[in-house]
Homo-oligomer: A and B are copies of this chain.
Amino acid sequence: MGVIETTKSRVQRTEKAVELPLELPVGKILDGDCVEAMRSIPTASVDLVFADPPYNLQLGGDLNRPDGSHVDAVTDDWDKFDTFKAYDDFTRAWLTEAKRILKPDGALWVIGSYHNIYRVGAILQDLGFWILNDIVWRKSNPMPNFRGTRFTNAHETLLWCSQGEKAKYHFNYRAMKTLNDELQMRSDWVLPICNGAERLKEGGHKVHPTQKPESLLYRVLLSTTEKGDVVLDPFFGTGTTGAVAKRLGRQWIGCEREGVYRNAALKRIEKELPLDESALTTMQAGRSAPKVAFGALVENGYLKPGTELFDKKRRWRATVRADGSLACGKQTGSIHGLGKELQGAPSCNGWTFWHYEVDGADGKDVQPIDAARQLYLLAVED
């Protein structure tokens, strides 16, 4: 059992990742059943498995809103399991393969709802996986319970597991703390559901019924992988895992048997641009602790890593990095800390000090980053 977050071990891991990928179908979506597909992957070759398996939702008839409109629920054939037994067998099969292909210090993430997560959790414990945390994705904008018969189902659950009780695992503690305004990241994550421009649509209809938000994958990959790591998603769907992995400089492998999803995913990932080196560098353990407050804006795309920030009189410039820290030459720190250092001031409110360019009505507008924070608050507030 342990945590690796030293420079030395990180370098070792990168070297390993450079040795192996020739055998690995990195950047590809394997066609067919995920268990079969995973059998083609070498043992102990993957750093992370992220899985969003079918939820085994047992919806009776159709579901209508109070106004009579129809809810586009999950009724696809791939989500039908006759009994718990069938679902358990399926779950045991893919978890067994996942365990085999993971490196000894690799990790597994699974997301699910109350319909399936208790079965998945018990089975992965039976297989020897060791739960490190269960994470609650608290949806800031869940679907209401239209009938008023239960509590609003406003969250989903993720399980984060190592290979076993004594196995090592990787956790970017400092990056998570930076992302959370210098407080430890908790086991409950408040994130909006996948909506708006991020949601893949074809002819007005959503391509996939359960597309996950990129902010969720962003946090998963940033917290438990390093640059260059190989991430496998056995239920790739429309490729959220692949898109975020590419953006964050991780290698990815997908398994998906539906051609429609595979095509949508490939198109989507094609468009994705990897962040550059400077933006990807995150805060490390052991360095002088920076104060950063706006990681959530970066995570949710309000400010992209790599964005140039500057003060109102453009005397200083800095680059936004993936974990919400800033870089200015060799100097790095939080929006507050770096602003303070550059000015040689006793303190600095980064929210009003740093500005960025926005596409406005005529040309570029300059706004303080606090404007982005306000937008984010409006979107997330409930």
Query: Which A residues have a C-beta under 8 Å from some C-beta of B?
Result: 1-3, 58, 60, 84, 114-115, 117-123, 125-126, 131-136, 138, 142, 144-145, 148-155, 157, 159-160, 165, 171, 173, 176-177, 184-188, 223, 285
Contacts and interface: CB of A to CB of B under 8 A. Distances in A.
B131 A114 contact: yes
Contacts of A121: 114, 117-119, 121-122
11 contacts: A114-B121, A119-B121, A122-B123, A133-B150, A145-B184, A148-B285, A149-B171, A150-B171, A151-B160, A151-B184, A152-B186
A151 B132 CA distance: 9
B173 A153 contact: no
Contacts of A115: 131
A361 B296 CA distance: 45
Contact of A151 (B118, B126, B142, B187): B187
B3 A186 contact: no
A9 to B, nearest CB: 14
Contacts of A132: 150
Residues of A contacting B: mostly: mixed
Given A134-B157, A136-B188, 7 more contacts: A117-B118, A118-B159, A133-B150, A152-B184, A155-B186, A155-B187, A157-B157
Given A125-B84, A134-B157, A138-B136, A187 B118 contact: no
In the A-B complex, the 10 residue pairs with the closest CB atoms: A118-B121, A122-B122, A154-B186, A114-B134, A148-B173, A152-B186, A152-B184, A3-B149, A133-B151, A151-B187
A165 to B, nearest CB: 8
Contacts of A151: 133, 135, 160, 176, 184-187, 223
B131 A187 contact: no
A61 to B, nearest CB: 11
Contacts of A126: 84
Contact of A133 (B123, B133, B153, B285): B153
Contacts of A119: 121-122, 125
A2 B147 CA distance: 10
A232 B63 CA distance: 35
A114 to B, nearest CB: 4
A247 B334 CA distance: 50
Nearest to A184: B152
A228 B85 CA distance: 39
Contact of A184 (B131, B148, B160, B188): B148
A10 to B, nearest CB: 16
Given A118-B118, A126-B84, A188 B138 contact: yes
B155 A173 contact: no
A154 B187 contact: yes
A136 B190 CA distance: 13
A369 B171 CA distance: 45
A123 B159 CA distance: 18
A221 to B, nearest CB: 15
B118 A125 contact: yes
Contacts of A131: 114-115, 118
A152 B187 contact: yes
Contacts of A155: 136, 186-188
A117 B122 CA distance: 9
A133 B114 contact: yes
Contacts of A165: 58
Given A3-B149, A171-B150, A184 B138 contact: no
A186 B142 contact: yes
